[in-house]
Chain A
Amino acid sequence: MKWFKHIMLFINNDIKLLLRKWRTLPLLLVAPVIMLVMIAFLAIRFIGDFEEMDIQVGLTNLDEAQETTMIVNALMETSDISEMLTIHNMTVEEAEIAISSNEIAANIIFPEDFFADMTGGNSSTVEVVGNADMSLESDIVNEIVATVTKHIRNSQASILAIGYRAAEVGVDEEEVDEMILNLFVEYFVQVMSSSDMLDENLQSNVATNNTNNYYILSVVFVLLIIWSTIISIYLKGETHQRVKTRMKLYGVTELTESISKIAVLIASMIILAAISLLGLYFFTDILNLAFDNILRVITLVALFIIAIGGIHILIGILFDNVKTQLIVKLIMSILLIVFSGALIPEIYFPEYLLPVFDYSVSHMTVYWVMEIVFGGRFYMELVPIAIAIGVIYGLIVLASLFKGVRRA
Chain B
Amino acid sequence: MKNMIDIRLMLSKKRLIGLFVWLTVPTLLTMGIFYIFNDVTDDFSVPVGIANDSDEEEVESIIQEIGDNNLINVRMIEADEAGRLVEQHELDSTFVFDEQFYDNLENLRRTNMIESHYSNRSLAYGAIKESVGAVVQERYGLYYAKNMINQVEEENDAEQSDLETVDTLINDLIDRFNLLEYEYSYYGDITPVSDHEDMNIFLIWSIVTFFVTLFIFELIVSERRQKVMQRLAFTRYNMTKYFLYQVSILTILLVVSDLIAWFVFEFFYEQSISILTVLSVRLMMILFAYVLAVLIKNVYTYLLVSLFVIIAIIIFTFVLNPLFVTMDLGYLNHLNPLYQFINEEITVYWSVGLLVIIALFWRVRHA
Contact = CB atoms under 8 A, between A and B. Distances in A.
Interface of A: 35, 39, 42-43, 45-46, 49-50, 96, 99-100, 107, 118, 121-132, 135-136, 138-139, 142, 145-147, 149-162, 164-166, 168-171, 183, 187, 190-191, 194-205, 207-209, 211, 214, 233, 236, 238, 322-323, 326, 330, 344-345, 347-350, 352-353, 375
A137 to B, nearest CB: 9
B136 interface: yes
Interface stretch (B5-13, B198-206, B299-307): B299-307
Given A132-B188, A145-B182, A348 B44 contact: yes
Interface string B7-23: 00000000000000000
A132 B215 CA distance: 38
Given A121-B173, A124-B181, A135-B192, A42 B40 contact: no
Nearest to A206: B87
Nearest to B142: A158
Contacts of A208: 87, 89, 119-121
A322 B181 contact: no
Identify the interface centre among B43, B190, B193, B323: most chain A CB within 10 Å of its CB. B323
Contact of B87 (A159, A194, A203): A203
B326 A136 contact: yes
A42 B323 contact: yes
Contacts of A157: 170-171, 173-174, 179
Interface residues of B, number: 86
B20 to A, nearest CB: 15
Contact of B180 (A149, A164, A165, A205): A149
B213 to A, nearest CB: 13
Interface string B114-141: 1111111101000001101110111011
A211 B156 CA distance: 59
A139 B192 contact: yes
Contacts, number: 247
B183 A127 contact: yes
Contacts of A35: 315
B137 A194 contact: yes
A71 to B, nearest CB: 11
A202 B110 contact: no
Contacts of A152: 180
Contacts of A166: 149, 152
Nearest to A196: B111
Closest 4 CB pairs of A and B: A121-B177, A123-B178, A350-B43, A208-B119
Nearest to B92: A347
Contacts of B161: 165
A156 B173 CA distance: 10
Contact of A149 (B46, B182, B215, B327): B182
A101 B185 CA distance: 18
A126 B44 contact: no
Contacts of B357: none
29 contacts: A45-B327, A46-B327, A50-B326, A99-B187, A122-B177, A124-B180, A124-B181, A126-B181, A127-B184, A128-B182, A128-B185, A129-B187, A136-B325, A145-B184, A153-B179, A154-B138, A157-B170, A157-B174, A158-B142, A158-B144, A161-B166, A162-B148, A170-B156, A196-B110, A198-B116, A198-B133, A204-B87, A347-B91, A353-B43
